[in-house]
Amino acid sequence: MVTIRIHTKYEGAWSDADELLLCLDTGKWRFERPVVDSKKCNYCGLCALFCPPQCMMDTGDHFEPNLKFCKGCGICVRECPRKAISVLSEGEFRDEEKE
C-alpha cells in the first residue's frame, strides 16, 4: 500500500492554497456533506490531495473537511481507500444548525 502524508503545505500540488484558493466561499455551493469516520481513517492524506479547494484539514490523526470551503463534490468520498467518508444530505443537518 502506498501512503502519502502531507506534512507541509509546500508538498501539495497547490502550495499556496491557504492564501489563494481558500478565499472562495465554496461552502455555500454544498448540497451534500462529507462526514469522516475517524476510526476508519488511516491518515493517508489522499482525500486532502484530491480535494479541489484543498479544504480537507489535517487534525493530527485524521482528516476533516473545513465546511466553510467544502463544496460537497464528493471526490474525497470516491478517492478514500478506506471508505471512511460518507456523504449525507445537508438537509440532515438543518435542525442541528438552528440550535
Query: Cβ closer to ligand SF4: 35 or 99?
Result: 35
- Is residue 89 helix, strand or coil? strand
- The long-range contacts involving 22-25, CB below 8 angstroms and separated by at least 24 positions, are 22/53, 22/54, 22/55, 22/66, 22/69, 24/53, 24/69, 25/68, 25/69
84 lies in the binding site for ligand SF4 (CB under 6 A): yes
Per CB under 6 A, contacts with ligand SF4 among 43-82 are 43-47, 51-53, 55-56, 62-63, 65, 70-76, 80, 82
> Shortest Cβ distance from residue 95 to ligand SF4 (Å)?
22
Please name the residue that has the C-alpha cell 479544504.
Answer: 55
Chain contacts with ligand SF4 (rule: CB under 6 A):
34, 36, 41-47, 51-53, 55-56, 62-63, 65, 70-76, 80, 82, 84-85
